[in-house]
Amino acid sequence: MAQSFKSESSTSVVENELLPRFQQEGTALHRLLQEAAYLARCSDNKTAALIRPRDYAIKYPYMQINRAGFVSWLIFDLDHDNAMIWQDKGLPAPNLIVQNRQSGHAHLYYGIAPVCTSERARSKPIHYMKAIYSALSRELNADPEYHSGPVAKTPGHQWWRTSELHNHVYELSELAGCVELASASPWSKGPNLDAVSHSRNCIMFEKLRFYAYSIVNRQKEDGSFLSFTRLLEAFAHNHNAFRSLGFSADLSQSDLRATVKSVARWTWDKYTGSGRCHRGVMVLDPNLPLPEKQALAAERTHSARKEKTAGRIRAACRVLQQQGKALLHEAIAQAANLSRQTVAKYKHVLEEVKKPFSLVPLRAIQPVDSDVNYAVHQVSAPQGGVLRVGELVVLESEFGLVRLPEI
């Protein structure tokens, strides 16, 4: 839903006129107020040490935007003065731009359908949201460690230059379609505790599963499933110290037993190492320096990803051609579930698809020798098809013309 950004005089509302818009339904500022915590952190500095009702918190230059347990706004901290970088990169328009008047540094606000991040929340939507945030941060040259706050520049405060562009609430899939999400092997590194810092159960699960991966093969050789399970129980007990991490309590014994049982059973039965790891598939010289090996592997991965995307675009074009529709970028992007910007990068694929099919004339059939021994050799799958000549069946294969007996 990218929109062209007008001049400051037409989009930036004078700050004393913005405050009433917090109460005006259908505006981005009204949604910001409604989604904020009723008792929000706020202050005239980044510590936001005060706690005030949200109607009063918006009068401070810094406030807590997302309430605890929910993320309704993706906020990007730009440490450069190009607040229009989203337009330069062809990304969707943010709902709000809150810019420092002196330095030009800004916070970009993207309203999203709320994602629950409480302890009982599903982890996949949280990981999906974090992946989108990381990808957009790279495109916007934003601070990747900011993670939407929790404290941000308060829109509408007189310290900042605030621009309200639209009130559209993005689905995560809308934003994901505009960037390339990083895909990493789930156990290529150690546990990513930052991604699950909201939940004690998730932290314990991440720590425990990586420990299980490291000992399961040795236990299968020298131990048993029982000894493997006891090691996991001891590890979980020794790492159940969540009070020291700021949580209200440690995990209960029933939670620990359930986590150990789940990790132990799956790891013992199914773990064989990373299915995405293909060490040696490129048959590289072992004497090559590691950075050079990594560069060659990255190039191969990038080529495979590009070819996969090109295949999706070709398939989408064929579908549109069969339906008699024009091959417009928007239509192709929708059919291939890609962004319009991605489709535009594959002009060579579109030109290839638009070319008419060329028909190759059939070769003249040569007479077949009468002394052919039937079924002496296997014949590969036909490339030219099967032709009937009199009482014989002639198979045109990669080996030439072969006569088969009539069935």
Confidence of residue 182 (pLDDT cuts 50, 70, 90): low
Q: In whole angstroms, how far apart are CA 162 and each of 79, 94, 230, 319?
A: 17, 12, 58, 45
With a cut of 60, say whether residue 384 has pLDDT above it. Answer: no
With a cut of 70, say whether residue 368 has pLDDT above it. Answer: no
In this predicted structure, what is the pLDDT of residue 7? 34
In this predicted structure, what is the pLDDT of residue 389? 44
In this predicted structure, what is the pLDDT of residue 15? 47
In this predicted structure, what is the pLDDT of residue 72? 93
Question: Of 288, 187, 204, nearest to 245 (Cα)?
Answer: 204
Give the list of residues 6+ apart from residue 81 with CB closer than 8 angstroms, or none.
103, 104, 105
Q: Which residue has the tokens 């202050």?
A: 43
In this predicted structure, what is the pLDDT of residue 53? 92
Tell me which range, 8-12, 299-303, 374-378, is most confidently predicted by mean pLDDT. 299-303
The proportion of the chain whose per-residue pLDDT surpasses 70, expressed as a percent, equals: 75
List pLDDT tens digits, range 93-132: 999 999 999 999 999 999 999 999 887 888 888 988 998 9
In this predicted structure, what is the pLDDT of residue 124? 85
Q: Which residues pair with 115 in a beta bridge?
A: 71
In this predicted structure, what is the pLDDT of residue 86? 92
Is 284 or 52 the better-scoring residue by pLDDT? Answer: 52
C-alpha count within 13 angstroms, C-beta hemisphere, residue 139? 23
Q: What is the DSSP letter of 163?
A: E
- The sign of the torsion formed by the CA atoms of 382, 387, 393, 399 equals negative
In this predicted structure, what is the pLDDT of residue 246? 75
Q: Which range has the worst mean pLDDT, 79-93, 127-141, 142-156, 265-279?
A: 265-279
List pLDDT tens digits, range 199-218: 888 888 988 988 898 888 88
Is 275 or 200 the better-scoring residue by pLDDT? Answer: 200
Report the pLDDT averaged over residues 239-248.
82
The sheet that has 151-153: what strands, in order across it?
Answer: 50-53, 39-43, 62-64, 151-153
Is 377 or 90 the better-scoring residue by pLDDT? Answer: 90
| Beta strands in 15-154, from DSSP E residues, in sequence order | 39-43, 50-53, 62-64, 70-78, 96-100, 106-116, 151-153
The proportion of the chain whose per-residue pLDDT surpasses 90, expressed as a percent, equals: 24
Question: Of 195, 33, 204, nearest to 117 (Cα)?
Answer: 195
In this predicted structure, what is the pLDDT of residue 74? 94
Q: Which residues pair with 111 in a beta bridge?
A: 73
What pTM was estimated for this model as a whole? 0.46
Domains, the chain, in order of start with CATH, read 8-176 (no CATH), 193-270 (1.10.340.50), 290-354 (no CATH), 362-407 (no CATH)
In this predicted structure, what is the pLDDT of residue 185? 43
Report the pLDDT averaged over residues 326-344.
86
List pLDDT tens digits, range 53-81: 988 898 899 999 998 889 999 999 998 98
Question: Of 22, 68, 20, nearest to 41 (Cα)?
Answer: 68
* Cα gap 12→164, rounded to integer Å: 7
In this predicted structure, what is the pLDDT of residue 372? 52
Confidence of residue 4 (pLDDT cuts 50, 70, 90): very low
Mean pLDDT score of the chain: 78
